Structure 1
Amino acid sequence: MVPLIWLIAAAVLAIGELLVMDFTLLMLGVAALVTAGVAVTGIPVWATVCVFVVAALGTVLLVRPALRRRVVDSSEITAFTPRELEGMDAVVLVPVTSTDTTGQVRVNGEIWSARAAHPGDMFSEGDRVQVVSIDGTTAVVWKGV
């Protein structure tokens, strides 16, 4: 009966891992699975609990960090700052003037509100422009392309 309880615990922890996606519950599930295998030998319940604690510590402290490094590649995670858009080319989607921010441009696949950098400049739909700076949520553009 004790091995069955550990198998059920392993299954519940593995299902819980699907909700959390942090590998902690998965490691505890593996520890419960190891404990179920050891419990089949008929050792006392207190010994199975000790096996679970040792297996849980081993998997959480040794296996989980290695697994996270392998699965979650930190090089893919990059911080984005709007300053990175400065100097990029953009396409005008909605006419841009220097007097308001109702114009829109597509920069790097994203749509930004825009205004012209120099007074009197106006860019029509389809014009290619360059981002001079980012002012809040508005791209300041000019005909630098």
Structure 2
Amino acid sequence: MSALAIWVLWVVIGVVCVIIEVFTPSFFIMWFGIGAFAGALVSLFSGSFLFQFLAFIVVSTLLVVFTRPLAKKITGRPARKAAVDGLIGTDGLVIEDVDPETGKGLVRVGSDIWRARSADGISKISVGRRVRVVSVEGTHLIVEEHRREPFHAEKGGE
């Protein structure tokens, strides 16, 4: 491939990345477009594809690492949380005793059933009790008893 063709290829990759960024404003793809423009610039001075590719990788990586946090701050977008983090603060129903001695316990939150542990690590929470999710650790919900009275569906529970 001729040097001009490689230069054009880098420019096309850069333009495509910038166009994609326009339609998905994530401040992520654009950095690879700028990296491709760096590869195009290096191709004007060096015929070595290795140097061009290194310029692309180095510039793209540096831009992602150093400017993406700044772009997030400017746009004011909060960091994405995992879907399970949305469970924190929700109420659930104990359907199998949450027992720190056995390490077992099941809680229903909405229509889903989760393994659960007590937040303090020593309290046993009995079946029928209402709990609140305080955190998530792996596949376990960490819960604390929410109310002292047993859970009753007719009281508007879940």
Larger Rg: 1
- Which of the five TM-score ranges fits, normalised by the shorter chain? 0.3 to 0.5
- TM score, norm. by length of structure 2: 0.43
